[in-house]
Amino acid sequence: MKINFNKYQGTGNDFVIIDNRENHFPKKDINLINKLCDRRFGIGADGLILLEDSDSSDFKMIYFNADGNESTMCGNGGRCIVAFAKKLGIFSDNTTFTAIDGTHYATIKDSRVSLQMIDVDTITNNKTHLFLNTGSPHHIEFVDVVSKIDVKTKGRSIRKGAPYFEEGTNVNFVEQVDDNTFKVRTYERGVEDETLSCGTGVTAVAIAANVAKKSSENNISLETLGGKLSVSFTKENGVFKEVFLIGEATFVFDGIFTI
């Protein structure tokens, strides 16, 4: 079996993307997906994305974590599949696509993608952390110096601990730089390690910064290990709307993987 693939990255968050409009890819094969994402025995990626036909939008996005399991929304993956869909000629400047959390609108200019995320109306604000869902669940802790945090060890301990348990959560550690700039490091479930960037994570951080009264801005700059992203939003009666994740989505290479 030969699999045609493309590799994309968004601020270092990298993905194997496959055009599956003819439904040839065996998406129930967890071991195959895990192998394709393996950095030693496969192509290497934080996740795998299938582009499929949709009856209600330009295309459908199906996202799998590197462990091979289908997962919730991936923001950087969403930006990357938009760039891939444009490469395929599915749309020109703007598009809508369907993902596990609903329909997303996006625009692209050069390699810069602006992706609309879901509205957020429920945020848990505890003394030590905040929790919210931006298409994927995110635990957020503000720290003094994020570079001093052992993200893998501490993130893993929180990821399946109370109250998250088996469903788990992504874990973000955040350092404030100024009123609208934050440094973010993220431990991602499914990857089970720190990634260079997380799109739903920085989206959650931007909203959490507003809720925690650390920023009064509605356009937030986020610095990740893989590069810079920005998140804009409006707030109406406690609901965060018109939430956009903005940043580069870059083609890396394509090829054929033979099984």
pLDDT of residue 165: 82
Query: CA torsion sign, 61 to 88 to 13 to 233?
Result: negative
Pick the catalytic residue from 61, 115, 132, 198: 198
Structure tokens at 104: 């997303």
On whether the CB atoms of residues 97 and 106 are closer than 8 A, the answer is yes
- 202 three-state secondary structure: helix
pTM for this model (two decimals)? 0.97
Is it true that the peptide bond before 163 is cis, omega within 30 degrees of 0? yes
Q: Look at strands 227-236 and 59-65 and give their pairing.
A: unpaired
* 80 belongs to the catalytic site: no
Residue 39's Cβ-count burial label (10 Å; 0-12, 13-18, 19+) is exposed
| CATH topology for the 2-109+249-258 domain | Diaminopimelate Epimerase; Chain A, domain 1 (3.10.310)
- What pLDDT digit, counting tens, does each position of 145-193 carry? 999 999 999 999 999 888 898 889 999 999 999 999 999 999 999 999 9
Q: How far apart are CA 89 and CA 164, in angstroms?
A: 41
For the stretch 96-126, pLDDT in tens is 999 999 999 999 999 999 999 999 999 999 9
As a whole-number percent, the residues of the chain with pLDDT over 90 amount to 96
Query: Average pLDDT, stretch 237-259?
Result: 97
CA distance 43 to 115: 26
User: Smallest Cα–Cα separation from 177: which of 210, 208, 140, 146?
Assistant: 146
- Token pair listed for 61: 């996005």
Residues 62-81 have pLDDT tens digits of: 999 999 999 999 999 999 99
**Residue bearing tokens 């720290």:** 143
Q: Which residues pair with 200 in a beta bridge?
A: none
Quickly list H helices, 112-221.
Answer: 151-159, 199-211
Same topology, domains 2-109+249-258 and 123-247? Answer is yes
Q: What does the CA dihedral 167, 78, 254, 224 come to, rounded to 10 degrees?
A: -80
Which residue of the set 49, 50, 61, 74 is catalytic? Answer: 74
Domain boundaries, the chain: 2-109+249-258, 123-247
Q: Which superfamily is assigned to 123-247 in CATH? A: Diaminopimelate Epimerase; Chain A, domain 1 (3.10.310.10)
CA dihedral sign, ordered 76, 77, 78, 82:
positive
Query: Any catalytic annotation for residue 198?
Result: yes
